[in-house]
Amino acid sequence: MDAVLELEHVTRTYGHGPHAVHALRDLDARLYAHSLTAVMGPSGSGKSTFLQCAAGLDSPTSGSVRLAGREISTMGERKLTRLRRERIGFVFQSFNLLPTLTAQENVLLPLRLGGRRRSAPNTDRARRMLARVGLAGREDARPGELSGGQQQRVAIARALITEPDVVFADEPTGALDQDTAAGVLRLLREAVSAYGATVVVVTHAPAVAALADRVLRLADGRLAHDTAGAGAGAGVRA
């Protein structure tokens, strides 16, 4: 099976000497295409640092991070910016939509930032993507006119529109009530099962484990457990 993301001997240390904090300690992990991986662990275990290093938002102190076969841990900032824009999707706890743009314009944003003009095919694609996430008919709504769950659906559509190698979701349900959160998680599951996306969810929410193909549990900057989740999608690896 193809590893989309490979971390080898990844160490991330903040600070120096006696005050150094070892956020990741010699961590190895491989994530496979078309699967939903949950990254869990107590507060301070290194989840955010894992996400930042894996998504090219931060560089490890040592070790290797390969995304779709390309080494990103040593990549320059310009190349990284382009890679993040074109090959990685992001979903955040706080949605991070632009309030002055409509739902459809928010979804189109990654394509426009990538230099692609507003074109009829792209607009159609954005509409289809919004329909897939259950927002047909709400294309012209601005984020302030949508519920939290709907805003997160727009954010998921935006993350998927470039067909990225990996979508990273950082506590995507942290700002939502339980029922709304369950709907958003099902949508991420569906993105994997129906559309072949590769999704990594960093979360405290135990409900994610039930939908994930795989659960990576961090403890003190190390991979404490790597287990199959209860998710039913393709890409399950015990």
Binding-site ranges for ligand ADP (CB under 6 A) = 14, 21, 23, 41, 43-49
Extract the tokens encoding 227: 């287990």
Torsion 129-137-147-209 (CA) sign: negative
Give CA–CA dist 138/141, Å, rounded.
5
- Calculated CA dihedral for residues 35, 41, 44, 45, nearest 10 degrees: -80
- Tell the smallest beta-carbon distance from residue 128 to ligand ADP (Å): 34
Residue closer to ligand ADP by CB (options 22, 142) is 22
Judge whether 29 and 226 are in contact, CB under 8 Å: yes
Give CA–CA dist 80/129, Å, rounded.
26
Burial of 43 (0-12, 13-18, 19+ CB in 10 A): exposed
- Tell the smallest beta-carbon distance from residue 217 to ligand ADP (Å): 11
Residue closer to ligand ADP by CB (options 47, 153) is 47
- Tell the smallest beta-carbon distance from residue 168 to ligand ADP (Å): 13
Alpha-helical runs (H) found in the chain: 47-54, 77-87, 103-113, 120-132, 148-160, 178-193, 206-211
Residue closer to ligand ADP by CB (options 50, 138) is 50
Which residues make Cβ contacts (< 8 Å) with residue 95, sequence separation at least 6? Answer: 143, 148, 151, 152, 154, 155, 175
Q: How many residues does the chain have?
A: 238
- Tell the smallest beta-carbon distance from residue 23 to ligand ADP (Å): 3
Extract the tokens encoding 40: 């869990």
- Tell the smallest beta-carbon distance from residue 140 to ligand ADP (Å): 37
- Tell the smallest beta-carbon distance from residue 131 to ligand ADP (Å): 34
- Tell the smallest beta-carbon distance from residue 188 to ligand ADP (Å): 19
